[in-house]
Amino acid sequence: MADDTEDPRDRHRSVPSSRAGRLAGFTRLAGGVAGGMLSEGARRLAAGERPRIDQLILTPGNAMRLADRLSHLRGAAMKLGQMISMDAGDFLPPELAEILARLRERADFMPPRQLDKVLSAEWGKDWRRQFRRFEPRPIAAASIGQVHRALTPDGRSLAVKVQYPGIAQSIDSDVDNVASLLKIAGLLPKELDIGPLLAAAKQQLHEEADYRREGEMMQAFAERLRDDDRFIVPELDTELNRDRVLVMSFEEGRPIETLADETQGTIDRIFTNLIELVASELFEFGLMQTDPNFANYRYRSDTEQIVLLDFGAARQIDPAIALSYRRLLMAGLAEDREQVREEAITAGFINPRAVERHPDRVDKAIDIIVTEMARQEKLDFGDRAFVPEIRDTVMPIAQDRESWHLPPAETLFVQRKVSGTALLGARLKARVDVRGIVEATFARTA
């Protein structure tokens, strides 16, 4: 891993773009993890312990190897690591969650020669003539591309997202390789059919690598939010946009996490706007940006506006899924715990087999959640006291492989946005009248 004191913009490593090069990266990762398991196993045995396989795999050393290698590979491999860190953070060992969380901010950059090769292929060898200034050092990097700032001859400031070479072509094999690693490590049981989830993950990642599509989604959000001055959506530059280069207006803003430095009233007001946006996406727009990565939001303190970025994961929401969420929330607000259980089963959140084998634990978990939902006061996202209680309640269910179950992939995409937004609220310690927002949204969309 890179030293935290180093300038992140100096992390130059060529992206492995060939199939053989990426496979070699996965092979090195598997070998490093195996070596880490052997040394950890020897240490624990010497201490008189009999460690479980998951204790040997989920070590800080192996997590460090995982984060470093996925940062290098980028693409679908890094994206899946980011998703694990956000979706399971409350249920992972703290050391592992912290290291994997670095994948949300960390990626190595393309060396200048590799960058020039990509831009020459998209814009032609004289591409620099289109700009008064093009900053060669990226201002940000993610799993699929890196972002540069540029200035046009007529003075427009642009953000230019450049896709890593070979990423789009490596998605299917990357996803399969990550799944194979998890299976080899014993973290995926044979009883769990992850085929539909892997297919959906591949589809979404292919969509995220389609910069033409992302530009269209950006314009769709701009249209829906054109009369809402709480949010800013960048303007697409249709003339410069290409298959592997996404060009938009550069929008100033601070990292959304810096909102935590504002007064409690400001935090609550701004995060209320974000919760209302999520509710509108699900129940009004029928269109949701399903990647809740904190880097996809920027904050303007002078105007109290939120800049929305990265629409690669935006997708149409099946009305049936929106309806299942509506019914589930209505049952929760009515404190009808039996109906919550039935709606959760119908929506695919709970495996009926889990209800048969662990009825008391399922009911207790539902009671904890409904009790939180039913509070008349504002929901304090910073108060996570109920999370350990839920974790302790459902852990025996999670360890019972006959109860394992995956919700429909489309539902998981929506839930990832909901859970990720709540995680941001916890980081900001926001207090929001979620019940009032949900009730107002339902009244408006009845």
Question: What is the Cα–Cα distance from 150 to 159, expressed in whole angstroms?
Answer: 6
pLDDT, position 169: 83
Q: What's the CATH fold of domain 111-163+210-251?
A: Phosphorylase Kinase; domain 1 (3.30.200)
pLDDT band at 213 (very low <50, low <70, confident <90, very high): very high
> Smallest Cα–Cα separation from 427: which of 255, 190, 186?
255
- Within 13 Å of residue 10, how many CA atoms lie on the same side as its CB? 6
Q: Which two tokens stand for residue 27?
A: 């092979």
Strand partners, 148: 160
Task: Indicate the SS3 state at residue 405.
Answer: coil
Crossing angle between the packed helical segments 195-208 and 409-428, to the nearest 10 degrees: 70
Q: Which two tokens stand for residue 114?
A: 């590799």
Q: Mind listing the pLDDT tens digit for each residue in 58-81?
A: 555 555 555 555 554 555 555 555
pLDDT, position 446: 83
pLDDT, position 365: 93
Helices of type H across 150-253: 167-184, 195-208, 211-224
Q: Mind listing the pLDDT tens digit for each residue in 139-160?
A: 987 778 899 999 999 999 999 9
Known catalytic residue: 291? yes
Q: Once rounded to an integer, what is the mean pLDDT over residues 361-382?
A: 90
Q: Give the number of residues written for the chain.
A: 446
Task: Indicate the SS3 state at residue 254.
Answer: strand
Catalytic residue among 68, 291, 310, 400: 291
Per the CB < 8 A criterion, the answer to whether 177 and 28 are in contact is no
Q: β-strand 231-232 against 305-308: which pairing, if any?
A: parallel
Q: What angle do CA 193, 197, 198 make, to 5 degrees?
A: 100
Q: Which two tokens stand for residue 370?
A: 């409904």
Q: Compute how many other C-beta atoms are within 10 angstroms of the C-beta atom of residue 89.
A: 18
Per the CB < 8 A criterion, the answer to whether 365 and 393 are in contact is yes
pTM over 0.85: no
More confident residue, 264 or 39: 264
More confident residue, 96 or 397: 397
Q: Mind listing the pLDDT tens digit for each residue in 291-334?
A: 888 889 999 999 999 999 999 999 999 999 999 999 999 999 99
341 CB contacts (<8 Å, ≥6 apart)? 350, 355, 362, 363, 366
CA-based torsion, 220, 309, 72, 89: positive or negative: negative
Mean pLDDT value across the chain: 80
- Looking at the chain, the domain(s) classified CATH 3.30.200 span 111-163+210-251
Question: What is the Cα–Cα distance from 357 to 337, expressed in whole angstroms?
Answer: 18
Per the CB < 8 A criterion, the answer to whether 278 and 185 are in contact is no
- Look at the block and give the residue holding tokens 């700009």: 131
Where are the strands (E) in 294-355, listed by range?
A: 297-300, 305-308, 314-316
Cα–Cα distances (Å) from 202 to 28, 184, 331, in that order, read 23, 20, 34
**Residue % of the chain over a pLDDT of 90:** 51
Q: For the CA atoms of 421, 424, 426, 427, what is the dihedral angle to 10 degrees?
A: 180
Q: Mind listing the pLDDT tens digit for each residue in 239-265?
A: 999 999 999 999 999 999 999 999 999
Distance linking the first and last C-alpha atoms of the chain:
51
Q: Mind listing the pLDDT tens digit for each residue in 253-297?
A: 999 999 999 999 999 999 999 999 999 999 999 999 998 888 899
Burial status of residue 270 (CB atoms within 10 A of its CB: 0-12, 13-18, 19 or more): buried
Cα–Cα distances (Å) from 173 to 20, 145, 207, 357, 375, in that order, read 11, 18, 16, 37, 47
Q: What angle do CA 72, 74, 80 make, to 5 degrees?
A: 120
